[in-house]
Amino acid sequence: MRFWGLYCLCVVFGLAGCSALPTEVPTIGFIDAFEDETLAQAKQGFFDALAEKGFSEKKGSLRVIYRNAQGDLPTLVQITDYMIAQKVALLATNPTLATITALQKTRNVPVCMMVTGHPNMLGLVDSKGNNPPNLFGVFETQAYLVTAVENAQQLLPKMKRLGVIYNQAEPQSAEALRLIAQHCKILGITLESLPVSNSAETQLVVQALLQKKLDAFFALPDNIVFSSFEVIVRSCAEARVPVFTSEAGLVKRGAVSAYGADMYAWGHQAGEQASLYLRNRTEIPALVKVNTYQKLYNTTAGKPFKFSPDKSYQEIRVKSPTQANEAGNFQNLYLSALWLGLAYSALALGIFISMRIFDIPDITTDSSYTLGGAITATLLLAGVPLPVVLLAVILAGALAGMATGFMHTYLRINALLAGILVMNGLYSVNLMILGKANVPLIDTQNLLASFSPALPAVWSQGSVLLGVMLLCWGGLAYLLKTDFGLAMRATGSAEAMIRANGVNTNRIKVIGLGLSNALTALSGFLLVQYQGFADINMGLGIMIVGLGSVIIGEAVGNLLKTNAIAVRLGVVVLGTILFRELLAITLSLGIPPDMLKLVTSLLVLAVVVLGRKKEH
């Protein structure tokens, strides 16, 4: 009995001692620079590999802090700082931009990278060529791009002219362009390339590239290409130009074929490397090269071109933007600029209200435009009827403008500051609505296709855009002739006088700015359907586009020497079209697309200066 009593006592104390032992569960921070279907595959592979090695969040053997910067660099920096402050065991970074940011912020926390190039290519090595001591994971040399181009030539033996767009700010994109250019010379292929710095410019840049009679388009591993891929595919389909790529995820979004790394396997390989470190947390594993590649062929996208892939290709059948548009109805650069001008006309009319009637520089425009696009994309994907979507867009835009007007009038905040405050706040709202930085629209109901059964797709788009423009122009011209419209105009030109007559000018301004931003949101509604995607940064700098359109229109209007409101609004719309056509001419003259922002600023400056000289 004594023996059993002593034994039980030991067991009790032993269990108590075991429960008191520290059971440390490793915490890792996973950073996505932006959200994309391709990157999501790598992330899934990473965590699957960890689970297979015994590190699972579901089973309590791993803690995970996950954050996605949604393409915003300052947010990416803040995320990295936060995770370092949480003292994570390691940082998992996906893709290149997240890796670079993490290594700029720490040399102590191990960084496991995936879906990125070799550190030497990214400029991360020291003067002796050594990698950062805390870096490990899986890299790619981009040599596979050579095979990807050969894959395109295998399907299209007569290919002599290949087109690409690239982002100079991305090391991975610039290096990919260099490699492809070298190999195209060997293969006897002429490579036509144009830079692009913003997804909002992709449409015109691709159209300018297609003017060079391409045999095929190649989609580089580039964030801007990823975010605006739907508009690339649609433009190329209308020109009967096949799209090839090195990224498997883009085949599901409409590319004909790809040769490249299996993203799931890439992430899985990185997860295996991470598990090696988590076992002992003392030795940093070596960097390894991704070892799994695949050849994919989209039978739906390839059907119009009648390619004959061999058995080495993995065939997939997915609906794509190619199917949703009638191939062969090619929009040339100037026709595309015309449609863009019509789509932006509501924006220009909105800025006319804020700048010319109230003399208020309303920065809210940048975010209310994106707000209209975000609501449109989200609701269309949810299957909401178009009339309901349109109503939601107009109401949301109006509320955004009225918020700025309320701050300026009733809270007595400077108009510029009020607009900035609302604009910044709407960035988060827009991101919440979208759910991620970029949302493609594939096989969704579309206002611009309303006349597709009777007209080719390109003319259906133009008919709808023209109709919406005429409604906006006519409706606003009528409104500004009513008593309320006259009160709006008087508030901008003689506020003290009209206030003395008992008019509540503060309320007029709030409603006026609401109307201005409702029109701006309407432009976002149209542009998202025209380009086929919504992007969190689509409104960046959009105010200068609208303002430039207004100024150019007024310069034309001065020649008519009339103050009739219908004419003034009409020349604003004309200015919007002229503005887009001037940019199209700029591209056709061979001026690099990355100079478009500078050209835009100089164009507006020139019109303002010339207008003043004529006044004197």
pLDDT along the chain (616 residues), means of 10: 43 38 74 82 93 91 90 84 92 90 91 89 81 91 83 90 86 83 90 84 86 91 82 87 87 87 90 92 88 87 86 74 41 77 92 90 91 93 91 96 94 92 91 83 74 68 89 94 90 84 89 95 91 82 81 78 85 88 77 70 73 57
Asked whether 389 and 525 are in contact (CB, 8 A), the reply is yes
386 vs 379: CA distance, rounded Å: 9
pLDDT number for residue 5: 47
State phi, psi for 196 to the nearest 5 degrees. -140, 140
499 vs 476: CA distance, rounded Å: 23
Looking at the domain 25-142+266-289, which fold is it? Rossmann fold (3.40.50)
Task: Name the one residue in this structure whose structure tokens are 């002219």.
Answer: 161
pLDDT number for residue 33: 87
pLDDT number for residue 456: 66
Long-range (24+ apart) CB contacts under 8 A made by 554-558 are 554/356, 554/611, 555/607, 555/610, 555/611, 558/611, 558/614
587 vs 596: CA distance, rounded Å: 8
Question: What does the DSSP 8-state code read for residue 594?
Answer: G
Task: Name the one residue in this structure whose structure tokens are 């809210």.
Answer: 364
**b/e burial code for range 14-53 (CB count within 10 A of at least 16 → b):** eeeeeeeeeeeebebbbbbbbbbebbbbbbebbbebbbeb
Q: In which residue ranges of the chain is CATH 3.40.50.2300 found?
A: 25-142+266-289, 144-260+294-324
Edge-to-edge, what's the strand order for the sheet holding 90-94?
63-68, 27-32, 90-94, 111-113, 135-139, 287-289
pLDDT number for residue 324: 39
Q: Which amino acid is at 110?
A: P
> Hey, what are 96's tokens?
């290149």
Which CATH class, in words, describes the domain spanning 144-260+294-324?
Answer: alpha beta
